Structures are given as structure tokens and as C-alpha cells.
Amino acid sequence: MGTPVHASSDGPALLTEHGLMEPVREMEFTARFTRADGELAAQAAAVAVTRAIDAPPSFVSPVLDAGRSASRCLLARSASDTCRIVLTADSSGITVSATDDVAVPLDAGDGAGAKNLPLLAVVDGLRVHHGPDGHVWVVWKGAWRRTGPVREVSGAS
């Protein structure tokens, strides 16, 4: 699909459909685009951030689709000149966000982004957040693929 992120040129990929490889705890990838360049630029930004994942198309395609949908939703709700797509991977899953909040530095920590913003709406499975400063965050959250067989839990007889 792309050029996945590796610890070294001969090492394993750090981000796969099963999650992050130890000892990595969180990764974030950001691509910026301008409103003037339109939806094609937004789609290119979504492609850029998903290329970090070393996974089959069956896993990457829904993540990429989420990035495209989030960017379209953002462009419909924001008049900002500059926007960005943010892919975040941690132990809880994979998140794709589209936002017009380009002032938040990547090392801002857990308090930044949409995590603490009130939910404004849910549109086609995307959570739309609106910050007190007027910024819009459109967020999609996905799960990692389970490894091995899934255990069934049966009730007591």
C-alpha cells in the first residue's frame, strides 16, 4: 500500500493491522492541506497518513475511506484556509481525524485535539466536535484486528 514505518531498514514494521509493535506506545502522523486545493488535496493527505500502516488493503482501505469521509465532512463545516488529517495509533485502536485546528503542536499531549471537546453531532459514523475557539474536529475510531482465535464466553448453567 505504501511505505510503512520501520525502526530500522531491516526491522519489522512498527504499525500493522494488529496495532503498534513494542516498545512503541503511540504514534501520530499528520498531513496538512489547503482549502483552495479542495477535496483532491484532502484525499492526498489521507493517503499520506495511511501509508505508515503495514497491513493488507482489507485493513487499510476502511481507514483510508474514513480519512476521505472525515475530510469531506470537515470541508463542508469549516471555512478555514488550512486543514489537516491526523492518524493516531495507540493501544486502544486507530483514530483518523480531520480538523481545521492547525495550531495544536504534535507534542501537546492528551489534553489536545478532540478528546476533551463536546460532541456536536454524529454524521455517517463520524463524530463531529466543535471547540470553544471555533475549530472543528471530525473523528473516526477503528479497532485493531485480533490475533489468534477469539474465545467465546459462555454463561453459567
Q: Could you read off the pLDDT of 92-133 as tens digits, one per residue?
A: 899 999 999 887 655 555 556 677 888 999 999 999 998 888
Q: What pTM value is reported for the model?
A: 0.81
Give the separation between CA 84 and CA 98, rounded to whole angstroms.
6
Choose among 111, 56, 114: nearest CA to 84.
114
Relative orientation angle of helices 57-77 and 38-50, to the nearest 10 degrees: 140
Domains of the chain, each with CATH number or no CATH: 15-103+114-142 (3.30.565)
C-beta of residue 127 within 8 angstroms of C-beta of residue 115? no
pLDDT (tens digit per residue) in 45-100: 999 999 989 999 999 999 999 999 999 999 999 999 999 999 999 888 999 999 99
113: left (phi over 0), alpha (psi -120 to 50) or beta: left
